[in-house]
Amino acid sequence: MSKLRQFPSRGAVRVARMRPVDLLVLLGVVAVFYCAARIGASADQPYDAAAPPVVSTDPGQLPYYAGRSLLRMFAGLVPAVLFTIVFGTWAARSRRAAKVIVPAIDILQSVPVLTFLSITVTGFIAMFPHSTIGLELASVFAVFTALVWNMAMAFYQSLTTQSRELDEAARLMRLTRWQRFWKVDVPSGMIAQVWNGMISFGAAWFALSASETISVNGKDNGLPGVGSYVAQALDNGQGGRVALAVVVMITMVVSVNFFFWRPITAWAERFRTEDCEIAEQPRSWFLNLLRRSTLPALLGRVLRPAGERLDRAMRVLGTSPGRLRHDPVRRRRADLVFHVLYAMAVGLIVWRAFAYILDNVPVGEIGHAAWLALITYGRVMALVVFATLVWVPIGAWIGMNPKVNRIAQPVVQVLASFPSNFLFPLAVVVLGASGISLNWGAIALMALGAQWYVLFNVIAGASSIPGDLREAADDLGLRGWLRWKRLILPAVFPSYTTGALTASGGAWNASIPGESVSYGTTTLTAVGIGAYITQATDSGDFARNFLGAVVMSVYVVVINRLVWRRLYRYAQNRCAL
């Protein structure tokens, strides 16, 4: 019997045909990679420490500078995602690893990024003494540190709070560790991870703008970018060009949200597992365009054989063990050994740090720095109280009204992402004209960027209240303060705690440029640890810079342990819906 000839299906023929939308998407991808390659190739330039590069304030350079800044942001995002995947999973699946990774992330995310910026710049310049690659790596590292700790902790928490049903299903189906990660772990934490990544990306804009221009040993090191453009225009007193850079920055933030974060947020809704569908799902015109294209499906078919071979190769990692179980006696002995070694390592680091400080700084300087940090802490707490009283009611109202949420959420994202130090020149003019001291005005400057995180997280918490709970509250006749007490406050309190902690950390970071601001020939300085670090950095005093960074870090870590972590535990135990 002759073998029948098989023809491709009508659907296969239709998929293989190039559509206009496919051509549009293909041209867009090629254009993005071409621009990234051209901009990235210009990063390697000769560098002379005696004559650091100077940034031009020619408005025609702004599109190129915006591309350089955007490339640094995504260059920091890629390693942050890889770090999150590796160390977040490792900490969630290994108790011993968690004993090291979680406290380290907890401490590192409490340390303000800008305190060690000049130190990292000096180290990277030493690695590449004759190339601007060192400055580029220092800027990317600042973006990485602003992104990674929140992302890693969020992914770790999503894995450790995974439902028992998913864990049992993974073990019953005998999934390998590799399969469990991609089929269970990543989907179950996708929504939380996307939103946390978006918030972290917004905070990283501030670190980027500060890292593009940093003074080390009395010399300004500038990289081509929007942040350095603004800094140079401020030094020249060119207010019009500062305003132009602000417009470019707003355009860039809005574009990233429209073409990157908004599509990912809408796509992540496919992983929502609630019984009640949300009333107003996130929508993205750009995602709908990509879904109409056949190129993603074609790319998936091309890569599927490689993915299957990789899946078979990863079987060597073994099957998913589910929840870890150890012998109690052996576990206590291992924990005792670990705690002793951990205490010794931490003690050695602390001893070496303070030995260096005592060798280079008078003892009385430590008390002075601690007093300055206490003053800055008062400003931080005033900011948090203000943001709580103002933005919690507004955020709850926005989050519980889907139509208002759809309009207000992109605006809040832009406000949270916009580097507040771009607006500091205007503050200098206002404070100078009104006669208000920067000791009080610094609170407003710190609030320009930090307060939005309270609003953003409260909106996210209120919008995630299940529809059946809202309907139950309506049926029970909960109105006014009773509705807030029984439904809204318990629902938004965990998100509020996250936002308040993020706002607190952002305020500590903002205190460094916010307590010492200048525009043209006018310089205003407040009393605080931020101004202390800025002055030490400008003068090249590494010892006092290190002292200020250590004192600020100690304050932040202690406050987080005594206040914010306790609020976290209270929110998890008493306010979880």
- Averaged pLDDT in 10-residue chunks for the chain of 577 residues: 50 57 83 84 75 78 89 91 88 77 72 68 78 84 85 79 70 75 79 77 80 68 82 78 85 86 82 57 77 80 78 66 55 72 79 83 87 91 90 86 74 72 73 79 82 80 72 70 76 80 80 77 82 80 82 82 78 59
pLDDT at res. 375: 92
Distance CA 53, CA 65 (A): 14
Query: Is the separation of the CB atoms in 234 and 226 below 8 Å?
Result: no
What letter represents residue 483's amino acid?
R
Return the residue matching tokens 């206009």.
20
Q: Which of 508, 480, 474, 410 is nearest to 116 (CA)?
A: 508
Distance CA 208, CA 228 (A): 10
Query: Is the separation of the CB atoms in 528 and 379 below 8 Å?
Result: yes
Distance CA 6, CA 256 (A): 47
Query: Is the separation of the CB atoms in 514 and 442 below 8 Å?
Result: yes
- 62: tokens are 């702004």
Query: Is the separation of the CB atoms in 295 and 217 below 8 Å?
Result: no
Query: Is the separation of the CB atoms in 284 and 266 below 8 Å?
Result: yes
State how far the alpha carbon of 223 is from the alpha carbons of 56, 140, 232, 375, 458, in Å.
Answer: 10, 12, 11, 33, 36
What letter represents residue 510's amino acid?
A
Long-range CB contact pairs, 465-472, < 8 A, 24+: 465/399, 465/400, 465/491, 465/577, 466/274, 466/276, 466/577, 467/276, 467/277, 467/278, 467/279, 468/275, 468/276, 469/577, 470/400
Could you give the angle at which helices 190-211 and 402-417 cross, rounded to 10 degrees? 30
pLDDT at res. 79: 92
Q: How crowded is residue 61: how many other Cβ atoms within 10 Å of its Cβ?
A: 14
Distance of CA 555 to the CA centre of its chain: 21
pLDDT at res. 12: 47
Distance CA 269, CA 250 (A): 27
Matching CATH topology for 18-323 and 363-577? Answer: yes
- Domain ranges (residues) in the chain: 18-323, 326-360, 363-577
Q: How crowded is residue 417: how many other Cβ atoms within 10 Å of its Cβ?
A: 26
Query: Is the separation of the CB atoms in 556 and 106 below 8 Å?
Result: no
Q: What 3-state class would DSSP assign to 176?
A: strand
Distance CA 141, CA 210 (A): 12
What letter represents residue 96's amino acid?
R
Q: Which of 67, 65, 71, 421 is nearest to 225 (CA)?
A: 65
Specify the DSSP class assigned to residue 131.
B
Distance CA 436, CA 427 (A): 10
The CATH number of 18-323 is 1.10.3720.10
Superfamily for the 363-577 domain: MetI-like (1.10.3720.10)
Distance CA 386, CA 397 (A): 18
What letter represents residue 502's amino acid?
T
Residue 520 Rama label (left phi>0; alpha psi -120 to 50; beta): left
- 237: tokens are 């007193």
- 325: tokens are 């179980």
- 383: tokens are 């900011």
pLDDT at res. 374: 92
Distance CA 493, CA 491 (A): 6
pLDDT at res. 324: 43
